[in-house]
Amino acid sequence: MKRLLPLLALTGTLLAAQPAAAQKSVSPEKLVALKKELSTEIDKQQKATQQMVDMVFSFGELGFQETETSAYLTGILKKNGFVIQQGIAGMPTAWTATWGTGKPVIAVGSDIDCIPKASQKPGVAYHDPIIEGAPGHGEGHNSGVPLNITAVLALKKIMEREKLPGTLMLWPGVAEEQLGAKAFYVRDGFFKNVDACIFTHVGDNLGVSYGDGGGNGLVSVKFNFDGQAAHSAGAPWRGRSALDAVELMDIGWNFHREHMEVTQRSHYVIPDGGDQPNVVPSKASVWYYFRERTYPKIMEMYADAVKMAEGATLMTKTTMSYEVLGSAWPGHMNKPMAEAMYENIKMVGLPTWTAADQTLARAVQVEMKAPKKGRDGTPIDGLAMKVDSLKPPSEFSIGGGSDDIADISWNVPTIVLRYPANIPGLPGHHWSNAIAMATPIAHKGVTAGAKAEAMTLLDMLVKPEVIRTAWTYFNDVQTKDTKYTPIISKTDKPAISLNKNIMAEFRPEMKKYYYNPAKYKSYLEQLGIAYPTVRTGTAAAAPSGGE
């Protein structure tokens, strides 16, 4: 059991056994017929898919505060016979939903949280928030779990009828924007009996990749400085400014940038900079993301930052403590599983876009001054018309974003299915990325993604070689020289109070805009939005009222 050794040493937990030989195989002809049936069934579920996508969009909940979203999604799964475990790994909004029996155990996940200040009316091609300043799905995380639910409910029917053994475990990426949950799921053993994991993430094409995708991992750390309050004018010499320490730490870090490798990304916000100018700030904090391409480099940045924070306390006679709020390894996705998924992607193909879909997409691209070409040279003009290629590992990378699905990918063979629910060429983490997310673009993109996912899950259930070769790649290639070491410690706790105040401020107003599918065919209809609403040549925009 070669694969157990490194993992045992790290987690102290006995990880999944190899999938039992009990997997039932079917003839190639039968498999083709079953996949066709999945596709037909998922097409029939388009109404339910649209409702889920629109509903989660309307909740617009930030990381760790996804209470409505989790209650709604687990409600649907429970009604369909899934066993729910709520509040896993110390996170009230985290859960698993399990159905089926025996091996293989396949985890199916996607993120559910949204972006601060990204409130936006769907289908409107310019900035027009539903509620000014409120959070919104400016990353498209409203669509992934609805996709997974659509896929597994179609598959469940076939599994029941054909008596296919296997266990499906759905789970949400809570607080992905804070890289806040997945390392805790791994640490607390929720993937220890899992044989493979399919993760879905919104994109602008149907695609999958394998190996090192060129992204960064990160550690998210908040430094809390403690000083001494005093009257800023009456007795400033008696004060010790915690804010001075924050600023000096930031200055130190910004000078240090010149001597860091180009692959690093580091950025910070100051969640607490004191209360008012005439009180010397006794407390102040600064929150950093430190990103690099490898685990040792991330940890080196982290150690450098702690030194700088200590330096800042020496300069200001303050004290300091720090806490990890999130973490992610650099990702590595499984090759045999990606190859299996890609065969299905080719079969499914891209959705048929209407003129209205393309008009919206092009108007948003003009509005956002989208580049003419993507970073890989693909032209950007409206919605994707050609299915993405199977992406091999990147040979060269200047670094980039992070996703804590990576922590799962270093413990269980994992792939990420990207599906075409959004518009190409947008900046990301932005209100414009929310525009498509409760429109026919997202609905059709999710349906296409659900088909590719359901077909690949079926492959994994009836073709034992998919998971077997996945583990061979995992053991002999991926983890041959690189062993997973968690960035979080055994005692770190998920940062579940993050975003509490923001949601408390906006939720009462947001509730008025929750989607009501009993009354309205779509969220667009509920908001009274003509699809698409685009600028009409002047600054005057088409009315989009109705609320």
Q: How many residues does the chain have?
A: 547
d(CA 71, CA 371): 39
Match 């999710």 to its residue by tokens.
Answer: 446
In angstroms, give the least distance from the CB of 172 to Zn ion.
Answer: 12
Joined together, the tokens standing for residue 109 give 């996940």
In angstroms, give the least distance from the CB of 427 to Zn ion.
Answer: 14
Pick 63 or 274: Cβ nearer Zn ion = 63
Q: What are phi and psi of 460, to 5 degrees?
A: -70, -30
Pick 200 or 478: Cβ nearer Zn ion = 200
Q: Which residue(s) pair with 160 in the sheet?
A: none
Residue nearest to Zn ion (CB): 139
In angstroms, give the least distance from the CB of 247 to Zn ion.
Answer: 31
8 A C-beta contact, residue 444 and residue 375? no
Q: What are phi and psi of 283, to 5 degrees?
A: -135, 140
Furthest C-alpha separation in the chain: 86
d(CA 64, CA 54): 20
Report angle CA 96, 97, 101 to the nearest 5 degrees: 115
Q: Distances in Å between the alpha carbon of 175 and those of 168, 179, 490, 494, 522? A: 22, 6, 20, 10, 27
* Bond from prior residue into 104 cis (ω within 30 degrees of 0): yes
In angstroms, give the least distance from the CB of 426 to Zn ion.
Answer: 13
Amino acid at 157: K
d(CA 407, CA 197): 12
Q: Is the dihedral of CA 469, 99, 345, 69 positive or negative?
A: negative
Pick 115 or 312: Cβ nearer Zn ion = 115
# of chain residues touching Zn ion (CB under 5 A): 1
Please return the burial class of 145, using the count of CB atoms within 10 Å of its CB with bins 0-12, 13-18 and 19+: buried
Residues in 22-61 that interact with Zn ion by CB under 5 A: none
Residues in 341-360 that interact with Zn ion by CB under 5 A: none
Residues in 178-197 that interact with Zn ion by CB under 5 A: none
In angstroms, give the least distance from the CB of 59 to Zn ion.
Answer: 16
In angstroms, give the least distance from the CB of 291 to Zn ion.
Answer: 15
Residues in 259-278 that interact with Zn ion by CB under 5 A: none
Pick 215 or 239: Cβ nearer Zn ion = 215
Pick 66 or 459: Cβ nearer Zn ion = 66
Pick 166 or 207: Cβ nearer Zn ion = 207
Joined together, the tokens standing for residue 534 give 């685009």
Pick 68 or 404: Cβ nearer Zn ion = 404
In angstroms, give the least distance from the CB of 202 to Zn ion.
Answer: 7
In angstroms, give the least distance from the CB of 200 to Zn ion.
Answer: 10
Pick 138 or 494: Cβ nearer Zn ion = 138
Match 């936006």 to its residue by tokens.
Answer: 120
In angstroms, give the least distance from the CB of 140 to Zn ion.
Answer: 7
Pick 66 or 139: Cβ nearer Zn ion = 139
Residues in 372-401 that interact with Zn ion by CB under 5 A: none
Pick 56 or 340: Cβ nearer Zn ion = 56
Instruction: Identify the helix (H) or strand (E) that includes residue 172.
Output: strand 166-173
Pick 182 or 297: Cβ nearer Zn ion = 182
Joined together, the tokens standing for residue 326 give 């999130």
Amino acid at 452: A
Helices 28-44 and 440-462, interaxial angle, to 10°?
Answer: 150
In angstroms, give the least distance from the CB of 430 to Zn ion.
Answer: 12
Pick 203 or 336: Cβ nearer Zn ion = 203
Pick 156 or 182: Cβ nearer Zn ion = 182
Joined together, the tokens standing for residue 142 give 């409203």
Residues in 89-148 that interact with Zn ion by CB under 5 A: 139
Closest CA to 185 of 63, 364, 381, 326: 326
Q: Is the dihedral of CA 179, 181, 187, 189 positive or negative?
A: negative
Match 């200055």 to its residue by tokens.
Answer: 251
In angstroms, give the least distance from the CB of 495 to Zn ion.
Answer: 18
Give me the half-sphere count of Cα atoms (radius 13 Å) on the Cβ side of residue 374.
16
The 3-state DSSP class for residue 308 equals helix
In angstroms, give the least distance from the CB of 13 to Zn ion.
Answer: 28
In angstroms, give the least distance from the CB of 428 to Zn ion.
Answer: 9
d(CA 327, CA 139): 19
Q: Which residues of this chain interact with Zn ion, rule CB under 5 A?
A: 139
